[in-house]
Structure 1
């Protein structure tokens, strides 16, 4: 079997990279110590799109996203149909997809795991021609995330206290938004007044301490999460339910598996959280799923997991 070659797109400004001080030289040494042939692209002065184009044109068979969820999503979407595999070195703050794939969060351990990783095909969500790898959220959550990004510039404990104050102020003042949801089952959209709506590639599991974690990434379905209300009592109850692993049946939440869904609003533009990044998208939002469209490298334990007992609807 021919040894893999790696082209690494390194985002030195990602959360973990900044916190730990990982450098291009340190990353190159990690690959060399494992006997892995890698070219490290750490040139942050060039646009990401240009760096991705160069990576796709390179002779490497595996492109490595060494960064946060934004870097991974941008690279993953561009790689569809390229014939190359995506590998992940989780250097962001949340690292959602890396956790789902059970990739070690320690950088040196993640590099070492590449040699034993195997290919797996995962689903890719699509909204208005844009690709996402975990979820798109509309409503309350993007506003919270925008505040978080501003407060992150504050030092240490001040940031945590500042965010909690901002969170509860926003929670007290938050108003529901009106949207039209067409899941294609009745032919007629239904109008809902909601606090937030999330569309996820596949579904988030219930289980003790499993916060927004997905066991399966290749079920071929979207999951629609509609949060009807989110007052203080709802926040406490829903958070407690997540801790103990029983939240899908919460009275404020509606969960639905769909093959495709369209979400519309009287607003021409909606602020969304797009795989962890704040974006503005034009309405209506047309969501579909591309089953097993992206090849990723994952530890063997995940790739060899048994298929689900019951197939989800496409």
Structure 2
């Protein structure tokens, strides 16, 4: 992952704007104290913390902060909060800091951030390195990690908030196991860039900008990076418990390409996913959030956002950073 070292972390201190999602985690007060300890208290104006309310225009909030002189914008929440904050930074030189407080925190894991708030704030306050990351855009909204249709979107749709609060990522696994029973592959129509439409029978179609699958070292496949100017379309066709068991074994070994039920395509511009007329629509998830249903078109924005990363990230395999 290529990095830029020209950012002077010391110049950012005192001009920090934080968007804190109080629904991510259960310790917003503790997080506020940690932020002030690393970046200065709010009364002095060194660090301004905004508690996010439902329905707020996050993009407008971020742009207003940049116009007011913010040199670092921190998204404190899950992957959905990170994407919403990044929307206001696209086209700007102001870097994004990620304080992971969500259930999965896929992007934070991908770029090697620690998952403890104090440790992460230490990185954001001291690191002089940033990476320029690609962004996916769906219906005008930006997303960083994956856009999926199939078992993953059903799993996310059907996992309730209380289960996520009690069980964390295990809640998704439980729901996925329940949804797997009786689920049959569907007939997908997939268009990659300007290539012809493909009719593929699959259980899952995923457009990946990052490779991290749940937790490192498990990945969707080899060579999937958020800074390489391309998207990877992962197509999985598994019909039985045996098929999924074989796929899980390949994931553990990092040899997904050798699994006969897995296919990969590379996209440089956009991907469109639909279902044949004989199939009813499926929900679509992006960065762990249900955003609608099929059909869906994913556009690639290359090098759209600068993100603060831990020192020494260059040359490190994505997803191999600290796990907190």
Deviations 1:130-189 (CA, angstroms, capped at 9, x unpaired): 3211110001111112222356168569x96x866643332121122222112246x431
Q: CA deviation at 1:274?
A: 0.5
62 and 126 in structure 1: CA distance in 2 versus 1, 3 angstrom threshold: same
- Does residue 40 (structure 1) correspond to residue 52 (structure 2)? The answer is no
Correspondent of 2:181 among 172, 178, 181 = 172
Query: Given that residues 209 and 225 in structure 2 are in contact (C-alpha distance below 8 angstroms), is that contact kept between their aligned partners in structure 1?
Result: no
212 and 191 in structure 1: CA distance in 2 versus 1, 3 angstrom threshold: closer
What secondary structure is seen at the aligned counterpart in 2 of 1:173?
Answer: coil
| Pairing 1:42-191 to 2, within 5 Å after superposition | 42-44=51-53, 47-49=56-58, 51-114=61-124, 115-149=126-160, 152=163, 155=166, 166-184=175-193, 187-191=195-199
Question: More deviation in 263-272 or 286-295?
Answer: 263-272
142 and 163 in structure 1: CA distance in 2 versus 1, 3 angstrom threshold: closer
Q: CA deviation at 1:234?
A: 1.8
| Pairing 1:222-301 to 2, within 5 Å after superposition | 222-259=231-268, 260-265=270-275, 266=277, 270-281=282-293, 283=295, 285-301=296-312
For 1:123 and 1:163, how far apart are their aligned partners in 2?
A: 26
Q: TM-score if structure 1 supplies the norm length? A: 0.82
The CA RMSD measured in Å over matched residues stands at 3.4
Q: CA deviation at 1:36?
A: 11
Structure with higher RCO (Cα < 8 A, 6+ apart): 2
295 and 247 in structure 1: CA distance in 2 versus 1, 3 angstrom threshold: same
Correspondent of 1:24 among 28, 32, 41 = 32
For 1:41 and 1:53, how far apart are their aligned partners in 2?
A: 13
Q: CA deviation at 1:20?
A: 8.4
- 5+ residue gaps, structure 2, are 1-7, 319-324
Question: More deviation in 92-101 or 269-278?
Answer: 269-278
For 2:21 and 2:54, how far apart are their aligned partners in 1?
A: 11
Query: Given that residues 79 and 107 in structure 2 are in contact (C-alpha distance below 8 angstroms), is that contact kept between their aligned partners in structure 1?
Result: yes
Query: Given that residues 151 and 163 in structure 1 are in contact (C-alpha distance below 8 angstroms), is that contact kept between their aligned partners in structure 2?
Result: no
Q: CA deviation at 1:68?
A: 0.7
Deviations 1:73-95 (CA, angstroms, capped at 9, x unpaired): 11112321133211111111111
Query: Given that residues 203 and 222 in structure 1 are in contact (C-alpha distance below 8 angstroms), is that contact kept between their aligned partners in structure 2?
Result: no
Query: Given that residues 129 and 310 in structure 2 are in contact (C-alpha distance below 8 angstroms), is that contact kept between their aligned partners in structure 1?
Result: yes
